[in-house]
Amino acid sequence: MLYLDTSALAKLYIQEAGTEEVRGLVDASRGLVFTSIVTCAEALAVLARCRKERRMADGAYRAAKRAFLADWPALHVVGLDERVLAPAERLIESHGLRGFDAVHLCAALWIGRPRFACFDARLRSAAESAGLTPAP
C-alpha cells in the first residue's frame, strides 16, 4: 500500500528528479495507490504552473494533463471529513506543517500504515514520526 502526496504524484507526469523512484514505487504497489481528494486540484495547479513558467511546452502540458486525468480514476482517493482530519491540529502544531501537508498526512494515517511518498522534508519527517515509512 502506497500513499502519494502531490509532490510525489506530480513526478509521474513531469520528468524531474525522483520520477523514476516514484514510478518504481507505483509499480511495486500493485494498484494499491492512495492519495487525498485535494491532490486532484493540487496536481492540476502544478501542471499549469509548469506550463506558465515555461518548464513545459504547451503540447507536453496537454499530454501530461490528459494522462493525469485518465489515471485519476484508478487511484484510491481518500475523501475528507472531520474523522479523517481529526489529527490535523496536533500534527500542525507538533511538526509545523502547512495545511494541505497536514491533510495528506491525515489521509495517509486514515487508511492505515502505507508507505508514504513525498518530497518535502518537513512532511517526510512528520510522517516518519507518525509511524509511516517514508519513500523513496
Tell me: the pLDDT tens digits for 88-134?
999 999 999 999 999 999 999 999 999 999 999 999 999 999 999 99
Domain count, the chain: 1
Evaluate whether residue 50 is within a structural domain: no
CATH code for position 103: 3.40.50.1010
Residue range 62-84: mean pLDDT, rounded:
98
Q: What is the pLDDT of residue 93?
A: 97
The average confidence (pLDDT) of the chain is: 97
Evaluate whether residue 64 is within a structural domain: no
Judging by beta carbons within 10 Å of its beta carbon (0-12, 13-18, 19+), is residue 7 exposed, middle or buried?
buried
Whole-angstrom Cα distance, residue 17 to residue 7?
Answer: 11
Tell me: the pLDDT tens digits for 7-22?
999 999 999 999 999 9
76 confidence band (pLDDT: 50, 70, 90): very high
Q: Domain range spanning residue 8?
A: 2-38+75-135
Evaluate whether residue 44 is within a structural domain: no
Contact criterion met (CB below 8 Å) for 122 and 5: no
Evaluate whether residue 93 is within a structural domain: yes
Please give the model's pTM, rounded to 2 decimal places. Answer: 0.95
Tell me: the pLDDT tens digits for 48-59?
999 999 999 999
Whole-angstrom Cα distance, residue 110 to residue 105?
Answer: 9
